[in-house]
Each structure stands twice: as C-alpha cells, then as structure tokens.
C-alpha cells in the first residue's frame, strides 16, 4: 500500500501523520508552535522553529511508521516570511495571518488602486523588506508551504501553489502569474517570488528526510480540509477551530477579481492539477472555538471545552439569552471590524448553563450565516454540510447548526481533516489515487438531521438578525474600515 507523509502547519499546532491509499490517517504527532504578540494586533511566529520542528516531527512519524513514498504539505495561509537565500536566515519574524500591523498601509494603498487586506501577505512582505533595510532582489518571499518545501529540499525548491498564492494579494485574477504592478507599488521585486506550481504534482525531492520522498502536494489549510472531507466535484464544509471557515466547490470558472464578493465571501483556489484550477468560495467567522477558550480561560465558567455539551443539555433552553460571538468583530457577511460581542436577555434567573448554551447557539447561528452567504453567492441550495475541527465533537452544537441551517450536517471521522487532505492530495498528485477514489471515501462519523419546523427555524433566524444588529458598529471608526 502506498503511503504519504502529511505535514500540517497550523497557526499554533504542527502535526504530522501518515495517510495511506485507503484514506487512513495514522502515526500522528503534534507540537505546539510559539506565537508572540509583542503589541496589540501583532502576531509573530518563529520561522526557524517552524522549519526545525517540522523536520523533527516528520522524522519522528517516519521512524514510528516507516518510510513514505510521497509528501504533502498544508499550512496556515498568508503567514509571511522574507529570508536571505544564501544564509537561509529570515530577515525578521514570520508575520502571522492575523497580524494587523499593516492596516494603515492597506488604507493608504487603496488610494493607489490596490485593494489589499492586512490578513493577506502583500503588505506583510512590504513591511518585512522595509524593516530589513535590504534590497528586495537580494531576498526571497515565502508563505509557510514555500518555507517548509525549501527546507525539505535543501534549498532546491522555491515554490508556492495556487491555493496559497491566491490569498497573498500578489497574483493576477487567474492566479497564473505574479502581479508585477502590485509588486512595483509595494517596492517588491519579481526576483523575490517563488515559482507558481500546481497544488498536486511533483514539487521536488525532500532529500533531508529518510528515503528522500518526493513532495507531490502543496495546499492551503482550508482547501486541504475540503479535500480531506472528500468534497471533490461538489460539496461544502465548515471547519470550526479558533474561527470557523466555510469552503465550497464552485467549479472551473474563476472570478474577475480576487477581492471580496458582495455576499461577504471570497474566491479561493480549491486545488489545481496539470495547470487546471478548481475554484471555490470561502466565508469566515472570526471567533468560534476562541469563544469556548474565553469561557474557560477568562470567565472560568468551564474547566474543559468538553464541559459545554453537558451544561447546555442541563437546561431546556437558553431562557431567551442570546450571545453574539463578535469578540474580534464580524466576518462574513457583515465584515464589521467595529462590532463587539455581547450577551443579551440576561436576568437574575440566568445561570451558567444558560450562558454556555447561548454561546454554543450563537456560534451555530454564525455558522448558519456562512451557509446563507454561500448560497447567495453560488445561487443554489446547499444540501449537506460537512464539519470538522474541535467543536465538531460537540453533538449539541452540531445539532444546533443543523437546526439553524435546515440542512443535514455530517461529521468528519477525523477532527483535523486538514492533515488527511494533505496526504490524500499527495497520493493523487503522484498518481496513486484518483479524484474519484477520494470522493468515494466519505464515511461520516455521524449525521445530524434538522429537528425544527421551517417556521420555527425562520423565526429563530429573524430573532438572530436582531441580535446581530445590536452589536454592529459598536466602535464606529473601526466599522468604517473596509478592505
């Protein structure tokens, strides 16, 4: 049986595992990565640590499970590294995708005809080059998959796949070449940029690993999760992690621009092979699992995320308490950075259980908001939602999502389908599996069917929109900022 080493570099967790041609994920290891927030809104990663820990964990998985034939790499998108190709040293910190230090730069650039968001790579690269004091042509640009592939190949491969390049703000709308006009305005040099490659295909030899397997997949984390949940010709998934991200397949036709749609969704490259791109759309909730962490770490209402389900089920309802999870603002569809979270309807009779239940219900309503926006964008009804991520283990929450969307929700057998997706893509990229093989692998852990009448559901959704209106434009100056 042919096997792939899957490398999954998240924002805070690095994972490795082995995926075989049956779709099984085994021999997993993980390690927490360092994240620094030196000032409000700044998020820094250690590029050296990412490279070192990736190699250590990959070797550990291979030592446990045996050598693999191919390698697939998936990663947090838009996190940015600029490095010296001669020394291999980064010129500064890796700037995480959540880093907001370039907000003002993005607003200034709008006047020059560049519509960029601070969570894209473009202005992060500009900041790193500017701070380095070096000539751009002396340096190399990397997102995380580029950085890891460069290290695994001993510096032979400086490449970026279409799914990662598509969210940098530095490519044209077809995602087939770097945008030299944008690079010029930003003071960057085309010589810095990696070669654009397919998500699936031969990207070089990982010669620093035992057996020197070939790298045959590079893919952003959310498209990897979509693939890992077997959404190939069609399908929609939501990953509930720190935030929540809905991704759905839209087809072979790309957008006219890589900027946000009126629906609040974004175009993404789902995957590419043999030069052909499959497109998708993405919607984002900025705070999902982070709200559960807030209940535990800051409010002290729970000891563990697993406590939330029992607490929610200990009461018959939230007793008309509502929670809007806008701790970092509202993403899709509103994109209101000045919105702030809130509890509403609290009385003297409100208990801890009511608050916890309201939080789970509020996150489920935001998941339903993503589905509404995606349906508006694609112009058709979504018939099934596949879910992964830590919150997918909470049956109460998943049932609430099914109730509020009116759509069956199927739960991934792997909580982290991203890792599995990277391995499956590597196997397809090397020709050991077909896309049809992967599509037929879907075997959900469980299926949750909506339990509300349509009238009841629509009434709750109307009441939810009233709660959203209460938190919008909490900080008007921030709400006025658009990217």
Cβ neighbors of 76 (< 8 A, separation 6 or more) are 9, 10, 11, 96, 97, 144, 221
pLDDT at 431: 97
Per-residue confidence (pLDDT) for residue 165, from 0 to 100: 98
Per the DSSP assignment, residues forming a β-bridge with 82 are: 141
Q: What is the pLDDT of residue 40?
A: 85
Contact, 333 vs 281, CB < 8 A? no
Structure confidence by residue, pLDDT tens digits, 67-111: 999 999 999 999 999 999 999 999 999 999 989 899 999 999 999
Buried b (16+ CB within 10 A) or exposed e, 34-65: eeeeeeeeebbbbbeebbebbbebbbebbeeb
Residue stretches of the chain with pLDDT short of 70:
none
* Cα gap 8→30, rounded to integer Å: 9
Q: Hey, what CATH topology would domain 3-221 get?
A: Nucleotidyltransferase; domain 5 (3.30.420)
Strands 195-197 and 159-161 turn out to be parallel
Q: In whole angstroms, what separates CA 85 from the centre of its chain?
A: 28
Angle at 163 between CA 161 and CA 164, to 5 degrees: 70
- Domain layout of the chain by residue ranges: 3-221, 230-411+452-483
Model pLDDT, residue 483 = 87
Residue 216 CA neighbour count, 13 Å, CB half: 22
Structurally, what CATH architecture does the domain formed by 230-411+452-483 represent?
2-Layer Sandwich (3.30)
- Measured CA to CA, the distance from residue 325 to residue 365 in angstroms comes to 10
Residues 96/33, Cβ–Cβ less than 8 Å: no
CA distances, 136 to each of 113, 119, 127, 128, 194 (Å): 22, 21, 11, 10, 13
pLDDT for the residue 141? 98
- Cβ atoms of 221 and 145 within 8 Å: the answer is no
CA distances from 119 to 1, 102, 246, 441 (A): 40, 9, 17, 34
Residue 58: phi, psi to the nearest 5?
A: -60, -45
Q: How many residues does the chain have?
A: 483
């Amino acid at each position: 049986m042919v096997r792939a080493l899957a490398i999954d570099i998240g924002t805070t967790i690095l994972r490795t595992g082995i995926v075989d041609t049956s779709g099984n994920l085994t021999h997993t290891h993980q390690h927490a990565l360092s994240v620094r927030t030196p000032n409000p809104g700044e998020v820094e990663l250690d590029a050296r640590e990412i490279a070192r820990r990736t190699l250590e964990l990959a070797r550990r998985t291979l030592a446990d499970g045996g050598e693999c034939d191919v390698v697939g790499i998936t990663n947090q998108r838009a996190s940015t590294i600029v490095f010296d190709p001669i020394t291999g040293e980064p010129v500064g910190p890796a700037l995480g995708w959540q880093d907001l230090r370039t907000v003002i730069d993005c607003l200034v650039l709008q006047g020059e005809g560049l519509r960029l968001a601070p969570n894209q790579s473009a202005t992060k690269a500009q900041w790193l080059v500017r701070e380095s004091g070096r000539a751009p042509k002396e340096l190399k640009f990397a997102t995380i998959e580029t950085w890891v592939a460069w290290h695994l190949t001993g510096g032979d491969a400086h490449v970026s796949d279409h799914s990662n390049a598509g969210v940098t703000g530095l490519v044209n709308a077809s995602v087939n070449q770097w945008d030299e006009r944008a690079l010029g305005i930003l003071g960057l040099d085309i010589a810095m940029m990696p070669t654009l490659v397919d998500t699936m295909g031969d990207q070089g030899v990982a010669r620093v690993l035992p057996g020197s397997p070939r790298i045959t997949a590079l893919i952003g984390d959310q498209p990897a999760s979509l693939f890992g949940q077997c959404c190939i010709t069609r399908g929609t998934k939501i990953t509930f992690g720190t935030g929540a991200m809905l991704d759905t397949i839209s087809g072979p036709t790309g957008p006219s621009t890589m900027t946000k749609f009126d629906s609040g969704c974004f175009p993404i490259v789902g995957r590419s092979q043999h030069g052909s791109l499959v497109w998708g759309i993405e919607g984002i909730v900025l705070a999902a699992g982070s709200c559960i962490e807030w209940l535990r770490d800051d409010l002290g209402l729970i000891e563990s995320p697993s406590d939330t389900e029992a607490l929610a089920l200990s009461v018959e309802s939230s007793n008309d308490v509502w929670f809007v999870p806008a701790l970092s603002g509202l993403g899709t569809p509103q994109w209101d950075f000045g919105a702030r979270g809130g509890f509403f309807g609290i009385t003297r009779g409100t208990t801890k259980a009511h608050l916890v239940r309201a939080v789970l219900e509020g996150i489920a309503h935001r998941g339903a908001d993503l589905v509404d926006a995606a349906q508006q964008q694609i112009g058709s009804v979504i018939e099934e939602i596949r879910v992964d991520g830590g919150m997918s283990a909470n049956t109460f929450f998943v049932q609430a999502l099914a109730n509020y969307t009116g759509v069956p929700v199927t739960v991934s057998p792997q909580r982290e389908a991203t890792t599995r997706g990277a391995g499956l893509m590597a196997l397809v990229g090397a020709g050991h599996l077909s896309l049809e093989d992967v599509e037929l692998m879907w075997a959900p852990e469980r299926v949750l069917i909506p339990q509300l009448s349509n009238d009841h559901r629509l009434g709750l959704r109307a009441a939810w929109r009233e709660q959203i209106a209460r938190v919008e434009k909490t900080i008007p100056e921030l709400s006025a900022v658009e990217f």
